[in-house]
Amino acid sequence: MTDIHCHILPFVDDGSDSIETSISMLEELVRQGVKNVILTPHYRKGFYVAEKSEIIACFEELKQVATQKGIDINLYLGREITVYKGLGKDFDEGKFLSLANSKYILLEFPYETETDIEEICYRVNLQGYVPVIAHVERYSYYRSVEKIVKLKEYGAVIQVNSSPIVKKSSLSENKFVKKLLKEKLVDIVASDWHSTRDNYFRQAYDKVKSKYDQEYADLIFKKNPAYIINSGNN
């Protein structure tokens, strides 16, 4: 399996506070059957603002330690970016990291403050990038199948977290993810894992596989996320 959204990189956000914690998290991903993972530390203005150079340095250090310890997992780098005015310009100037050096960028939106996600996706596409909507189930004002269909028409990739698939989130998130899976509108499932949370990635895969079918489970846990990595590394 491939996980494109997690907070395992140490020191740069609220995901991990040490190399040791990060190594333990990687080992757990391997146990759950993850072969490829994109580390996506937050960028949130006023909160998590580590420079690109710092992110890359932390990544190289973690990668080196993981190799020394023989952890059998492929590591890639990205960023989860909370949208703000001027994001497109900053991206064009090389301030941020796309997902695994691809044209896909992981975008987070306000959870409660209504935001025109369609317009932002449209602009992102015009700039030559593909928006991946992080944990779409969290945006209370977008919990509508019709709105998700519209987002996909604007070129967005729909990512949901693994936790609501196994009913480990709020009831409203759980119900909405169930609707999206039933309509096969989910493109990618990711863990969004932080060290302070539990990881339900494997459980979610098994549930989708049993409730829907293996082909769809493989598509959203393996094929689609792997495509992003392959598109950036060819």
Separation CA 211–CA 136 (nearest Å): 21
User: Which of 4-13, 43-52, 127-136, 215-224 is predicted with the least confidence, judged by mean pLDDT?
Assistant: 43-52
Answer whether 164's CB lies under 8 Å from 201's CB: no
Separation CA 139–CA 130 (nearest Å): 19
Number of domains in the chain: 1
pLDDT tens-digit series, residues 180-232: 999 999 999 999 999 999 999 999 999 999 999 999 999 999 999 999 999 98
pLDDT tens-digit series, residues 120-147: 998 888 888 999 999 999 999 999 999 9
* Domain interval for residue 72: 2-232
Query: Residue 133 sits in a domain of what CATH number?
Result: 3.20.20.140
Q: pTM value?
A: 0.96
